[in-house]
Structure 1
């Protein structure tokens, strides 16, 4: 891994409406309205790998792991709820990671914030 991807993950997460960051279980974690987690950083949390855990829609975890097990995994604690683990110590597809972070946010955020995100997106932000 050439550099620590935390700053890039932080920027992507905090760009979303009312997203906040604080430590949870010793790792940087991003919340919607400081209440519900949508992404968590995993710096060698249960192994020697660096990644993120992200909320995901039904079937996404199974599809991504089947398609690319070198990049995606079932994270501990939240994997049984369909969350996806994304390794960051392999060459990263940052466009795809950005999509997965936004999708994670969409799984957790209330409708009002989703409408705000959609308005910002349609305005070209």
Structure 2
């Protein structure tokens, strides 16, 4: 994984912990790049297409946004008591977010991150990840 360091990266304990968890999930995905965008979000991309975003809030909170398919988004948002919510500004493109401190959401994050990677990646790379998951 290629990591671009930036002065505007995550700084809270919660944000740094979320970044480490996402890094460990993405470590085996081919051609992933971690960088910080112009808004200070840490983003994970495959060939310049984002599939994960981590952002900190002014109150010290942190949210993880994941690219998912529309059917997955609908299921997650319809589930009673779900920690997932439609990501502001990009939710209409199939993104969901969850507060990084919600442990139950992390249990789903592995599969959702893989789904997002496969949606963003070229078919040849997505096939590698899908076959390794079986």
- TM-score, structure 2 length as denominator? 0.76
Which structure 2 residue ranges, 5 or more long, are not aligned?
A: 1-12
Q: Conserved in 2, the CA contact under 8 Å of 1:60 and 1:84?
A: no
Report the CA distance between 1:80 and its aligned residue. Answer: 1.2
CA distance, structure 1, for counterparts of residue 26 and residue 80 of structure 2: 23
For residue 71 of structure 1, give the secondary structure of its aligned residue in structure 2. coil
One of 29, 45, 51 as aligned partner of 2:43: 29
Pairing 1:88-103 to 2, within 5 Å after superposition:
88-103=100-115
- Count matched residues: 119
CA distance, structure 1, for counterparts of residue 81 and residue 56 of structure 2: 19
Please tell me whether residue 8 in structure 1 is matched to residue 8 in structure 2: no
Instruction: Identify the residue that residue 92 of structure 2 maps to in structure 1.
Output: 80
Report the CA distance between 1:70 and its aligned residue. Answer: 4.5
- TM-score, structure 1 length as denominator? 0.81
